[in-house]
Structure 1
Amino acid sequence: MSSRLRFAGLAFALLFSIAAAGDPLAPESALERSGYMRLTTSVEVSKFLEQLALLSHFVRKEQIGRSAGGRSIDAVWISKPSPVRTTKNTSLPRLTILLVGTQHGTEPSGGEALLLVARSVALGGMKLLLDGADFIIVPNANPDGRDLHRRVNANNVNLSTDFVLLSQPESRAINDLLLRVRPEVVLDVHESAILKKKTLGREGYLTDFNAQFEIGNNTNIAPEIRRLSLNRMLPEIVREVRRRGLPAQRYIGEITSIRQPITNGGLSLKNLRNKAGMLGAFSFLVENRLDPPGNYPTHRNIRERVAEQILSIESFLKVVRAHAQEIMGITRTARMTPLPRSVYLSTAYERNKTQPRISLQLRRRDTGVAEKRWFDDHRAIATAHKLNPPQAYVVTAHEQPVAAVLTRHHLRYEKITNRRKLAVHAQKIKADGNPLKPGEPAAIHAYPAELFLEPGDLWIEARQPEGLILPLLLDPRSTSSIFAYPPFNAALTRGREFFVYRVP
């Protein structure tokens, strides 16, 4: 792992500059105070943010929610008063940037890095960024996982994939923040273990990467956002990270076997990156390397891991700043586009016909020696079931749990009070003799019908601020459908008329 050793000097210099810059009274994180031998607890994260708020009138701390285990989920808002607008500066964009860390409790370096980034933006060398941006930083999105040393929250739920059902208070807190603040830019900060003991490690290999970046890649995100993100910003971020000495690439989906196909990041709305993108934000993920157990100068090489996350975040922010005016213009246009517009219900990866195979570098687990392996390349994206959203949706069964999900997404609905007849498009789940599997989009037969609405049925207008996601949540063919998840998938019965109807 000589590349890691070569980077160690840069890592230390980076951390030292961030720690030393700005106010001499700037707080240290518990990780810093321990000499990088002990992680910062959730209570200590909150205290650190409180200290920042006391030291700078640019900083405000806010509790945005509580975890399933009752722990505080905190954000810091860092901004300075906007300059008086004149004829010379009226076009200057001022972005709102949301940075989120530690959705997975066993990936702590992102949260530790965001504490130091918050300090640097408020008091240190990154303070210049406040001339063109306001920051909202949530360093510890999964305080249960951080304190309990586990990936999931106290309810054993993976928060990073909970943005369809929003079943957990932590994911709801982040979603509520997105809708309240409407950031133009979002970065979700993660780590990934290079040693996967139960999967790839058993085949004798480790993954070999330092920094990976992914965009909001659901095909229903505004095309202008996807184009700028994919064609210009992503390559520039990767180049900037490499220029600063850290190997970087576009995100490759988790490798658990040397025989699997290769994809990019997940395409559905279950992750923060795509949910934020559907709300009109330029949304990215960064995933840095989580070292396996070994002999390091600090606990699990945490000093260097934090430094790599900081370098990746700084590089990301540099590219965002360079594109600030474009970002502001595109997000404004995307959010003003009249609804509804057509959507693709199904989005999936398929074999890349122009490049069916790709080689990736892995490392032998026993020797650490680099080795190239060939994989099927499935990074092409296929779409299906294009739908022009209807006037409204009607739900005639399971109204209470469906209404609960709609409320979590801030989607409005009404309850029918009087019986009446209505022309609708009905759907029937095709019967092929096989039960539906969890996560499986349903095949349907659609046909016109007449329906009697009964008191208590739900009426959901499609033309509302977040109406674009309604078809993705309520249509059983959608890869982001609530009916792909328990307990809703149990409500789908093959050969029976589906209880969600489209009103043309």
Structure 2
Amino acid sequence: MKILLSLLLLCTSLAWAQPVPPTPFENGKFLTLPDSRDIGRYLAELDALSPKARLVSLGTSAGGRPIEALLMSESPVFLREYAAETDKPTVMIFGSQHGNEPSSAEAIQQLARELVAGEHPALLSRLNLVLVSMANPDGRDLSTRHNANDDNTNIDYVALNAGETRLLVDALHTFDPDVVYDAHESGIWKRVLTREQGWMTDVEAQFDMGNNPNIDGPLRAYTEQRLLPALIERVSDAGLAAVRYRGEITDINQSVARGGLGITNLRNYAAMQGRVSILVENRLDNKDGSYPTPRNIAERVRKQHLSILTMLELVADESERLVSLSRRARQQWQSGTEDGRILWMGVSFDVNRDEPEVTLPLVRFADGHQQQHRFRNHDAIVTREPVRLADAYAVIRERQRMADWLARHHIVFETVREPRELVAERLVIEQLLPQPKARPGVREKVQARVRVEEQSVTLQAGDLLVPMDQSLAPLAALMLDPRSANGLYQESEWRWLQPGEFPVFPVRLP
């Protein structure tokens, strides 16, 4: 009987251990990049091979290409219903938002192949994964940064002009991840820095987090003080020199800071929703260099894979505390101030007076000589215009257009059915101050000087009320308020900033 049982177990094991084919990139000996159709077929093959994988359509790109997520989990309920589990973080990984940064798409496929083959078994027992290998398939196939409509989806998370950005925002709500990981590559060759000044940047892996000061205070503190330093340390210990992201260095005379503070990017947008949000920028080698594979693509994929895998292992180890903080933040936001309800309308970087300069490595383009260069350090976060979160915001202009935009963000709002009298803080724009293009931190083009006048107002039928007792309230307020550096009205399609009374304003509910 024991022999029969052993044979049965062996046969079952052999039957389960189906051979998993290499990724299209691996199958091509790392010499050519597969197009989006090849990648889609491969993900479908992984779906068919494993009961722990499910391929889900998110929608279609501007160029008509499918955008898909491969779910991987040991939980049939998660695969079927996307349901969160109390003791398991859901991790959503986005690859190649910029189509000319392809290595993350290949690294994500490699990770999926390994998980289907039974490697890294602890990960699927401790995490639920949502893998979006190609967030921008148009850019992938066209070898461009943008989509087929020339939209830069990476900085579209306020306006939501691009269909791809709207699909990814929908996916955040569909799968409700605790962790969002956005994988990019950073080119070491820069037009001014390299061509005119003779230097290239020299970094292997840079990590940043959601850093807008309006992110839920406890969640932001945990990510900055514990999770991000631990990730950098682990990646470095694994053999890939990792550092805190210092932003794009394009000129030897510039100042440096960190990743931008604005919520137009996925990193801060997702974090404002109460999610741990991490950015990686792995090294994108100079296209004129000499490498074993085209533009060193095999090595770039290895670095992306190592970064992703290390992040997942860390999240698994931190799961209890991470899940608690992230889900509490999504239920009830609190600011980092004593009041707990304060939003900073103005945010930017300024000189760090405790560390006014930092030393960063550059490589001389002509001969590869490495040298440390000193840069002015402008990574101190400056805030202005503290505003206590209101009961609601009223909208009395272009109401249908605004309703469509709110719905795209999944922000709850009410359409007024009959005249309604409320106490309001009418916002009067007294002055508009154009902002310098080089102002670091945010994409604030115009700063509005605003006077607040408390008065009774009568909302008319068709006006909108956006309540601030919803989970997306702080995100909504930052986008709706004209005083905000992150406001919707900084976008070229929404030029509402004009002197006089503004048509969106806080109101007090009875």
TM-score between both structures, scaled by the size of structure 1: 0.89
Change (3 A) 1:414 1:104: same
Alignment check: 8 A CA contact 2:481 2:505 kept: no
Separation in 1 of the partners of 2:88 and 2:433?
Answer: 56
Candidates 57, 66, 72, aligned match of 2:51: 57
The aligned runs of 1:12-51 (5 Å cut-off) are 23=17, 25-51=19-45
Of the three residues 47, 62, 70, the one matched with 1:68 is 62
Alpha-carbon contact 1:363-1:371 (below 8 Å) kept: yes
1:176 aligns with 2:176: no
Sort the Cα spacing of 1:27 and 1:252 in 2 relative to 1 into closer, same or farther, 3 A. Answer: same
Aligned equivalents of 1:392, 1:382: Cα separation in 2: 26
**Equivalent position amino acid for 1:326 in 2:** R
1:501 Cα shift?
1.6
Judged with a 3 Å threshold, the aligned counterparts in structure 2 of structure 1 residues 435 and 258 are, in CA distance, closer, same or farther, namely closer
For the pair 1:457 / 2:450, whether they are aligned, the reply is no
User: What does residue range 347-386 of structure 1 map to in structure 2 within 5 Å?
Assistant: 347-386=347-386
SS at match of 2:422: strand
Q: Partner residue of 1:501?
A: 505
Specify whether residues 77 and 432 from structure 1 end up closer, same or farther in structure 2 by C-alpha distance, changes over 3 A only.
Answer: closer
**2:245 aligned partner, one-letter code:** Y
Distance, in Å, in 1 between the alignment partners of 2:436 and 2:425 is: 22
Q: Which residue of 1 aligns with 2:4?
A: none
- Describe the SS at the equivalent of 1:441: strand
Structure 1 CA distance for aligned equivalents of residues 32 and 130 of structure 2 = 26
Tell me what 2:428 maps to.
428
Distance (Å, rounded) in 2 between the aligned partners of 1:387 and 1:201: 46
- Asked if the contact 1:436–1:442 (Cα under 8 Å) also holds between the matched residues in 2, the reply is no
Letter in 1 for 2:372: K
| Alpha carbons 2:273, 2:475 under 8 Å: kept | no
Equivalent position SS for 1:75: strand
Aligned to 2:5: none
Aligned partners of 2:210, 2:449: CA distance in 1, in Å?
A: 26
Instruction: Return the alpha-carbon distance in structure 1 between the equivalents of residues 455 and 204 of structure 2.
Output: 55
User: Take 1:398 and 1:155, find their aligned partners in 2: how far apart are those partners?
Assistant: 25
The secondary structure found in structure 1 opposite 2:424 is strand
2:137 paired residue number: 143
User: Could you tell me which residue of structure 2 aligns to residue 235 of structure 1?
Assistant: 229
- Does the 8 A contact of 1:345 with 1:471 survive in 2? no
2:445 corresponds to which residue?
439
- Letter of the structure 1 residue corresponding to residue 345 of structure 2: L
Task: Say whether the 8 Å CA contact 2:91–2:127 is kept in structure 1.
Answer: yes
Distance 2:489 2:18 in 1: 54
**Uncovered stretches (5+) of structure 1, i.e. residues with no partner:** 1-21, 84-90
C-alpha distance after superposition, 1:30-49 (max 9, x if no partner)? 21121111112111111111
- Is residue 494 of structure 2 the alignment partner of residue 492 of structure 1? no
- C-alpha separation in 2, matches of 1:65 and 1:147: 17
Q: For residues 78 and 282 of structure 1, do their structure 2 counterparts lie closer, same or farther at Cα, with a shift above 3 Å needed?
A: same
Checking the alignment, whether the CA contact within 8 Å between 1:200 and 1:258 is kept in structure 2 is: no
Tell me whether 1:94 sits opposite 2:99 in the alignment: no
Rate the CA distance shift 1:323–1:354 in 2: closer, same or farther, 3 A.
same
Match status 1:320 vs 2:320: no
Query: What is the letter of the counterpart of residue 306 of structure 1?
Result: V
User: Could you say what secondary structure the match of 1:430 adopts?
Assistant: strand
Deviation at 1:465, TM superposition (A): 2.9
How far did residue 219 of structure 1 move? Answer: 1.3
2:245 is the alignment partner of 1:251: yes
**Letter in structure 1 aligned against 2:503:** F
Q: Distance in 1 between matches of 2:466 and 2:176?
A: 23
Instruction: Judge conservation of contact 1:30–1:38 (CA < 8 Å) in 2.
Output: no
Could you list the runs of 5+ residues in structure 2 that have no partner in the other structure?
1-15, 78-84, 335-339, 438-443
Secondary structure of 2:501's partner?
A: coil
The AA in structure 2 aligned to 1:501 is F
Which whole-Å CA distance do the structure 1 matches of 2:120 and 2:219 have between them? Answer: 26
Equivalent in 156, 165, 169 of residue 159 of structure 2: 165
Percent of paired sites with the same residue: 36
CA contact (8 A) 1:120 1:127 kept: no
CA apart distance, 1:483: 0.7
Shift of 1:82: 7.6
Conservation of the 8 A alpha-carbon contact between 2:100 and 2:145: yes
Contact kept, 8 Å, 2:191 with 2:250, in 1: the verdict is no
* SS in structure 1 of the partner of residue 191 of structure 2: coil
Number of corresponding residues? 474
> 2-side partners of 1:435 and 1:381: how far apart?
17
Which deviates more, 428-437 or 340-349? 428-437
Q: Which amino acid aligns with 1:80?
A: E
Cα deviation, 1:140-173, whole Å, max 9, x if unaligned, reads: 0000100010000112111111111121111111
> 1:196-245 deviations in whole A, cap 9, x for unaligned?
12555432211110001111111122222222211122111111111121
Q: State the secondary structure of the residue aligned to 1:424.
A: strand
Q: Helix, strand or coil for the counterpart of 1:130? A: helix
* 3-state SS, counterpart of residue 256 of structure 2: coil
**C-alpha distance in structure 1 between counterparts of 2:434 and 2:469, whole Å:** 36
Q: 1:393 to 1:252 in 2, by over 3 A?
A: same
Give the AA of the match of 2:366: D
Distance 1:400 1:33, change over 3 A: same
Residues 462-477 of structure 1 mapped to structure 2, 5 A cutoff? 462-477=468-483
233-242 or 57-66: which moved more? 233-242
Superposed displacement of residue 64, structure 1: 0.6
Q: 1:468 deviation in Å?
A: 2.1
User: 1:3 maps to which residue?
Assistant: none
1:397 aligns with: 397
Distance 1:312 1:399, change over 3 A: same
> 1:243 is aligned with what amino acid?
D
Give the equivalent residue in structure 1 for 2:441: none
Alpha-carbon offset, residue 105 of structure 1: 0.2
**Structure 2 letter corresponding to 1:492:** L
* TM-score of the pair, normalised by structure 2: 0.88
Task: Map Cα deviations across residues 95-130 of structure 1 (whole Å, 9 max, x no partner).
Answer: 111111000000000111101111112323223211
3-state SS, counterpart of residue 67 of structure 2:
strand
CA contact (8 A) 2:18 2:49 kept: no
In the alignment, which of 287, 306, 317 is matched to residue 301 of structure 2?
306
Aligned amino acid, residue 209 of structure 2: I
Q: Is the 8 A contact 1:78 1:135 kept in 2?
A: yes
